[in-house]
Structures are given as C-alpha cells and as structure tokens.
Amino acid sequence: MNDRKYLPDEEKDRLPDKPWGGRFDASLDKKAEAFLASLPFDQRLAQEDVRGSMAHCRMLIKTGVLSPGEGELILGGLVEIAGELASGRFPFDLSLEDIHMNVEKRLMEKIGSVGGKLHTGRSRNDQVALDMHLYVRKQIIEVDGLLAGLQAVLLELAKKHLGVIIPGYTHLQRAQPVIFSHHLLAYFWMLQRDRERFLDAYRRADLMPLGAGALSGSSFPLDREAVARELHFAAIYENSMDAVSDRDFVLEFLACAALLIMHLSRLSEELILWSSQEFSFIELSDAFTTGSSMMPQKKNPDIPELVRGKAGRVYGNLLALLTVFKGLPLTYNKDMQEDKEPLFDTCDTIKNILEIYPSLLESTKLNLKQIKQAVQHDFSTVTELADYLAANGIPFREAHAIVGQLVRYALDQGKLPAELTRSELAPFHPLLDSDMTPQLLRPQHAVASHRSRGGTAPQAVKEQLSRARRAMHRINLRAEKLFCREFL
Ligand code: ARG
C-alpha cells in the first residue's frame, strides 16, 4: 500500500514523504506541517549541524561502523553542503521540517542512499542538542569580545575625564559630588561581572551530548570522546537522558543576557536623563540621535530609549524558556523546539546593542560648563561640614543636626552654604567660625577627602582605574584559555 511505484502520480503526492514515512499511511496536513516546522528559524544552526555531522561521520569511520569509502562519500557531500550554505545556494525545503532533515535530504540527493547511513547511532534529539551547544559556545565568545570592547571604551573615557566632577545622586536627589570617571567605572565593573558570568556559563555549554541517541544511548560502538575531542568540548554528558533533556546552558545564557541588558538599560537611562534639557550634562552625537517629524528643536535619545525598551524582550525570552521547561517530563519533548527563537532573539538584541554602544559613548560630548554650574550650585557638600565636626570629636549625630540647622538657615536666606559669612556660621558651632569652612564646602575638597579604597578621591580613582585594567587583562586571558575559537 505504501509502495509509491504502484500508484498514479496524483496519489503519490498525498503519501508520506517523511523519514518516518514507513509507519504512516497518510501525509501530514499542510497547516500542521507549517506549524511543526522549525526550519524558518533553525536554519541558523546550519553550519553547526554540518560540523557536528562531520565529527559524527569521522567517528563512525574510526569505529568501523561506516567503511572508509562510505565515510569519504558522506564527508565529501557534507563539505559541498557547507559550501552551498555559506554561499546562500542551499535549497531549503520547508516541508522537511527542520535544518537536520534538510541537510540529510540534500546529502542523499548528492550521494544517493549511502547518505542515509550518516544518521546511524544518532537521533535528532542528540543532534539538535549538539548544534545548540556549538551555537551557544560561539555566541558567548562573540558576546565576550563585544563586552571587552565596551569595557575598553569605558576605561578610555574614565582616563580622559579624571578631572571632571559631577553631582552624584541617591533617590535621584543631589547627594555628594563624584569624579565622572568614578561613575563610568561603576559600569566597567558591572560589565566585568557580566563577562565572568558568561564565562562560567561557557563551561556548561562546553559539554558534548552526541551519542545519547534518542534518549538511552546506542547499540553501536560509538566513541563519544572522539567526537568531543574533534569538536573541542571539555567533557561529555555522563547521562544520555540528561544529555537530550538539558537546555540549562541556553537558560544560563539567557539569564546572563538578562543581567547584562539590565546594566545596559540603567546606563541608557542615565544617558537619557543627562541629555535632557533639565540636566544638560551631555550631548549625544547627531550620528546616534534622531529628530522629531513635528518639533524642529528636538534631538531624541532614541537609541538609549530603545535599549531600555529591549530589556523587556530579553527578560521575556528568559521567562518564556523557563516556563517551557518547568513541566517537561524526561526526555525530549517537542516543546523544546521553543528554545531557539528566544535564544536567537536575545543573541541578536544584545550583540546589536554592544556593537553600537562603544561608538555612541565615544562620540558623546560632555557639557563641562553646565556640569560645573550644577556641581557648584547646590548643597551636596554639606556632609563635609558634618564630617569635619565629627572628626573634631563631636558625635556624628549631633554634627548632622548642627549642619541640618545651617542648611535650614541657608535655605531661608536664599543662599548657598558656601556663601554664608563667618558671622553667619559662628552661631551654629565655634568650629565653623573659621576661614576653613568655605574651603570644606568646595566640591574639589569634598571629592578629594573621600580617600577610602574604592572611593571617589582622584588618587583612589586612579588606583581603581589601574585595578580595572588589570582585572580586564586577567579576564581576557581567562577567556583566551577557555574558548574554542576554531569554529568562529
Ligand atoms: N526541530 C527539532 C527541535 O528543534 C529537532 C529535534 C526533533 N526531534 C524529534 N524527536 N522530533 O527540537
């Protein structure tokens, strides 16, 4: 019944043409076929798929499962397919559901039925897991490189702006002045932790699942270690059921990306605030801003806004995949095909941002006049007076109350604390009745006095800068040792 030879042409079209065709009497409904297909998105795994198949094939030759002649034919076909994929000539066929079946079918078109031997000892379940591992490893390498680039720009800007003092905020209220470089370096360290996290995640992506078969291993004499060596994996999965069920490494990537975009979004928020007319601390370059189609005066920080907005989808992708997995029984379930789009979308999103941000930051101008004006015209140095009194034996709580009254008085007089005369200061405390007091209130003095390690004093920030350089150097070396760059 299933033998096409005996059927008229129009009947043939309706019969199963799938790899599982033997078991089925009728073809898949067209809408169902489109619904099930992952090809529109898993095409991205094409090179990984071919690379994994080559390693599998070489291992099958080595273990005698395939004869050298058969193996050579298959490898030759795979090389041609890799070429077609690279040059965009590969004829994708949606009815073949996914990238794995597309490659296999193409192989058989090229070398005939011997191509069907490639899948010996393998299932799409361990095949897709392998592709995903190769892909995630490559993505981490790329993201890490981009993060290193952004860190380098932050270091460069921090070095350049050591002399600039800006208001520091808590609750978005002026709190204490800081060196601008200090503020920038805070982001450097966030990115440093992001890199550490991605490198940690790499170790879990660096596991080789092939040989797990559908779920229980294989009756063929497979050499899983050989496949792992060829593809430069650090280790293999110890449990075949775990190997085909696990997408923790994808989830970890998405979690690392979620934290990363949270940092990028906070930086974006500051760029948006600082470039507003109310702050006017910076001006984003024309190359990275847009105008309004209606209001000619406007220059909009669209890019930072969009970065802030894209945090939503990157968080969403993590949540989507966590939700997919929460109730899945072992081992492979079709639900798991939903791992791809969130991963691809997050990769694209964060890499796009990381490609833009270094130049966006480098081209941003500081509005030094406005910054100076802001720093010198506020109350953000009065904590220095309280610290000064405390350093001279007055309990800090009392000192705080004394300075609080002074602030109240200055506000009532419509003056800045630095504008109060000695005779105005004297009643608050004899220690303040000194020519020193206005000195203490200077932002330069306030900044310079915060000498504690990791503080904002110029010397402390310079030391921090060199620690940051060394930390970056160390993580660059760690990445270099860890990463397999062969397939980039
Ligand atoms: N397209 C599938 C996926 O991405 C490949 C694995 C299919 N395995 C299966 N047993 N249907 O998950």
Establish whether residue 128 lines the binding site of ligand 1, counting it when its CB lies within 6 angstroms of any ligand atom: yes
Ligand 1: which of 28, 124, 131 to mutate, judged by most atoms within 8 Å of the beta carbon? 124
What is the Cα–Cα distance from 250 to 201, expressed in whole angstroms? 9
Q: SS3 of 235, please?
A: strand
Residues belonging to the active site: 171, 292
Q: Which of 17-21, 97-101, 343-347 has the lowest mean pLDDT?
A: 17-21
**What is the mean pLDDT of the segment spanning 89-109?**
96
Asked if residue 36 has pLDDT above 60, the reply is yes
**What is the mean pLDDT of the segment spanning 418-435?**
90
Q: Write out pLDDT tens, residues 170-217.
A: 999 999 999 999 999 999 999 999 999 999 999 999 999 999 999 999
* CB-based contacts of 245, cutoff 8 Å, min separation 6: 328, 330, 331, 332
- Partnered with residue 170 across adjacent β-strands are 173
Higher pLDDT, 71 or 9: 71
Asked if residue 14 has pLDDT above 50, the reply is no
Percent of the chain having pLDDT more than 70? 96
Q: In the structure, what pLDDT confidence band is assigned to residue 291 with cuts at 50, 70 and 90?
A: confident
**What is the mean pLDDT of the segment spanning 257-268?**
98
Asked if residue 485 has pLDDT above 60, the reply is yes
**What is the mean pLDDT of the segment spanning 370-399?**
93
Q: What is the pLDDT of residue 3?
A: 47
Q: Which CATH code, of 1.10.10.10, 1.10.275.10, 1.10.10.60, 3.30.420.40, is assigned to 28-120?
A: 1.10.275.10
Q: Which of 26-30, 142-146, 195-199, 300-304 has the lowest mean pLDDT?
A: 26-30
Q: SS3 of 439, please?
A: helix
Q: Which of 10-19, 40-49, 326-335 has the lowest mean pLDDT?
A: 10-19
CATH 1.10.40.30-classified regions of the chain: 382-441
Q: How many angstroms is it from 124 CA to the middle of ligand 1?
A: 6
Establish whether residue 131 lines the binding site of ligand 1, counting it when its CB lies within 6 angstroms of any ligand atom: no
Establish whether residue 96 lines the binding site of ligand 1, counting it when its CB lies within 6 angstroms of any ligand atom: no
Q: Which of 176, 233, 225 is nearest to 204 (CA)?
A: 233
What is the Cα–Cα distance from 6 to 12, expressed in whole angstroms? 9
Q: How many angstroms is it from 88 CA to the middle of ligand 1?
A: 24
CATH 1.10.275.10-classified regions of the chain: 28-120
Establish whether residue 192 lines the binding site of ligand 1, counting it when its CB lies within 6 angstroms of any ligand atom: no
Q: What is the pLDDT of residue 17?
A: 67
Q: Which of 123, 124, 47 is nearest to 90 (CA)?
A: 47
**What is the mean pLDDT of the segment spanning 283-293?**
87
Q: In the structure, what pLDDT confidence band is assigned to residue 237 with cuts at 50, 70 and 90?
A: very high
Q: SS3 of 332, please?
A: coil
What is the Cα–Cα distance from 206 to 136, expressed in whole angstroms? 9
Ligand 1: which of 44, 53, 92, 98 to mutate, judged by most atoms within 8 Å of the beta carbon? 98
Ligand 1: which of 43, 119, 325, 337 to mutate, judged by most atoms within 8 Å of the beta carbon? 337
Q: In the structure, what pLDDT confidence band is assigned to residue 9 with cuts at 50, 70 and 90?
A: low
Q: Which of 139, 177, 43 is nearest to 97 (CA)?
A: 43
Asked if residue 296 has pLDDT above 90, the reply is no
Establish whether residue 137 lines the binding site of ligand 1, counting it when its CB lies within 6 angstroms of any ligand atom: no
* CB-based contacts of 411, cutoff 8 Å, min separation 6: none
Q: How many angstroms is it from 126 CA to the middle of ligand 1?
A: 9
Q: SS3 of 179, please?
A: strand
Q: What is the pLDDT of residue 371?
A: 97
CATH topology of domain 125-373+465-487: Fumarase C; Chain A, domain 2 (1.20.200)
DSSP state string for 5-61: GGS-HHHHTTS--STTGGG-SSPPPHHHHHHH--HHHHGGGHHHHHHHHHHHHHHHH
Strand ranges (DSSP E) for 162-263?
A: 165-170, 173-179, 207-208, 235-236
Q: In the structure, what pLDDT confidence band is assigned to residue 60 with cuts at 50, 70 and 90?
A: very high
The DSSP code for 364 is: P
Asked if residue 18 has pLDDT above 80, the reply is no
Q: Which atom of ligand 1 is nearest to the CA of 340?
A: 4
- The whole-chain average pLDDT of the chain stands at 94
Residue with CA nearest ligand 1 atom 7: 124
Q: Which of 424, 347, 437 is nearest to 392 (CA)?
A: 437
Q: Write out pLDDT tens, residues 367-380.
A: 999 999 999 988 88
Distance of alpha carbon 423 from the chain centroid: 58
- Determine the CATH number of domain 382-441: 1.10.40.30
Asked if residue 336 has pLDDT above 80, the reply is yes
Distance of alpha carbon 301 from the chain centroid: 22
Q: Which of 131, 148, 134 is nearest to 479 (CA)?
A: 148
* CB-based contacts of 422, cutoff 8 Å, min separation 6: 433, 434, 435, 437
Q: SS3 of 212, please?
A: coil
Q: Which of 177, 148, 264, 181 is nearest to 465 (CA)?
A: 181
Asked if residue 15 has pLDDT above 70, the reply is no
Q: What is the pLDDT of residue 10?
A: 54
Residues 85-111 as b or e (16 or more Cβ within 10 Å = b): beeeebeeeebbbbbbbbbbbbbeebb
Q: Write out pLDDT tens, residues 136-180.
A: 999 999 999 999 999 999 999 999 999 999 999 999 999 999 999
Q: Which atom of ligand 1 is nearest to the CA of 99?
A: 1
**What is the mean pLDDT of the segment spanning 103-109?**
98
Q: Which of 248, 237, 214 is nearest to 325 (CA)?
A: 248
Q: What is the pLDDT of residue 185?
A: 98
What is the Cα–Cα distance from 206 to 347, expressed in whole angstroms? 18
Residue with CA nearest ligand 1 atom 11: 334
pTM given for the model: 0.92
Establish whether residue 130 lines the binding site of ligand 1, counting it when its CB lies within 6 angstroms of any ligand atom: no
Establish whether residue 38 lines the binding site of ligand 1, counting it when its CB lies within 6 angstroms of any ligand atom: yes
Q: SS3 of 279, please?
A: coil
